[in-house]
Amino acid sequence: MHIKQILKRIMSMCFELMIKHHKTSASKVPPEDARRIIGDVYQPIKYECTGRVSEEIEYEISFIVPVYNGEKYLEKCIESLVNQKTERKYELIFINDGSRDSSMDILNKYESLPNVVVLSQENSGISRTRNKGIEISRGKYIGFVDNDDYVSEDYVEKMMSLADRLQADVIKCGCVEFDSDTGKLLHDFGTHEDATYENGLGKDLLKYDGFIWGGCYRKDFWGSTIFPKDYWYEDMITRFLPYRRAKTFGYIGESMYYKREHATNSAKKIWVSGNVKSLDQYYLTKELIRMNEELGLPKDEVLFRLIVSEFGFMLGHRTKHLEDNIREAIFVMASEELKNFPESYDFDDLFCKSLRKKDYKLWKLATSLRETRY
């Protein structure tokens, strides 16, 4: 066993022991004080939730690939997309988002292909770039690929075959994350079992990853749901709402999307850097609740569990380097939000318990324990 794994195992046992002997202790920070503390350090920007979607249809599916300083892995990504084993018509939209390396030179090599669109713009961020791709896409379906990832050679054929058969709102497939240097498998997000749903996912939504990549979405179904501009964790809302809304859903158990983890992938490091922008995790979760209601979706146990996962580990992990008083304040605000859900939705989970009991210390311990297992 690698030394890092041994240390994680030891830490995990320590946190388990601390949790076992923990006595429930509610935070003494009043909600009004929590709101004041957060208001003094951060004011979120207004969330924009409407966007434009092209009605033009020339392809079965359009893949949108934002490109930013991706020279090292970009060609592998492009080659996996242009060399699909299929007779289907599909569109590839590559948008260079102000890269300062040779990414644009690489894109120019493929611009002459009939199904390839290459655009370049000043750096605007991944949300605006994806939204731009949605606006100009000409596919019946849309899909998203990150510029350092790649897909299997039968990705399009298998996705669209199932989409056609089901007339699906959403199709997803298994995804794996691997270490770029060693090729070692880090995480397997798939279930390895095919599944179809013709009347919504219901509680089974919780079985599937909500990643925006590794799937395709009927464009007219996508509607006005857009990626939030200038927020961190930009795909949180878009990775949940399509699955909540989908009536017809298909899942391919085979892993066909390959997510690359590498040293130059700075997003994960930035997102837990101690920047107050990590508080976006809280505000986007609140927005998810609001949009769920606006779309007429049920405020049910499934939504409750999704919210617990976002206010639980995700909020705990992403705010772990903030000053403790700020972190406790945002925890208290999250706990208050759960009061809007009936207690009958509660389930056996450390994060659910800590949020319901307003137990800040337990929430931190549960976060640390989960980190040792990730």
pLDDT at site 116? 98
Phi, psi dihedrals of residue 237, rounded to the nearest 5°: -70, -45
Once rounded to an integer, what is the mean pLDDT over residues 36-64?
A: 87
The DSSP output letter for 256 is: E
Provide the pLDDT confidence category of residue 271 given band limits of 50, 70 and 90: low
The three-class DSSP label of residue 306 is helix
pLDDT at site 206? 84
pLDDT at site 71? 95
CA distance 8 to 369: 9
CA distance 119 to 83: 21
Q: Where are the domains of the chain?
A: 3-45+268-372, 59-265
pLDDT tens across 150-176, in order? Answer: 999 999 999 999 999 999 999 999 999
Higher-scoring residue by pLDDT: 5, 163:
163
Provide the pLDDT confidence category of residue 265 given band limits of 50, 70 and 90: low
Question: Is the confidence at residue 145, as pLDDT, over 60?
Answer: yes
pLDDT at site 4? 79
Once rounded to an integer, what is the mean pLDDT over residues 276-305?
A: 92
pLDDT at site 345? 96
Q: How many residues in the chain?
A: 374
pLDDT at site 242? 85
Least confident of 136-150, 224-238, 328-342: 224-238
User: How high does pLDDT run on average in the chain?
Assistant: 91
What residues form DSSP beta bridges with 96? 67, 120
Residues 6+ apart with CB under 8 A from 54: 134, 135, 136, 137, 138, 219
This prediction has a pTM of 0.89
pLDDT tens across 187-206, in order? Answer: 888 778 999 999 988 888 88
Strands 170-179 and 249-261: what pairing? parallel
pLDDT at site 157? 98
Question: Is the confidence at residue 217, as pLDDT, over 90?
Answer: yes
The three-class DSSP label of residue 13 is helix
Q: Would you say 218 and 172 are in contact if contact means Cβ atoms under 8 Å apart?
A: no
pLDDT at site 269? 52
Question: Is the confidence at residue 138, as pLDDT, over 60?
Answer: yes
CATH class of 59-265: alpha beta
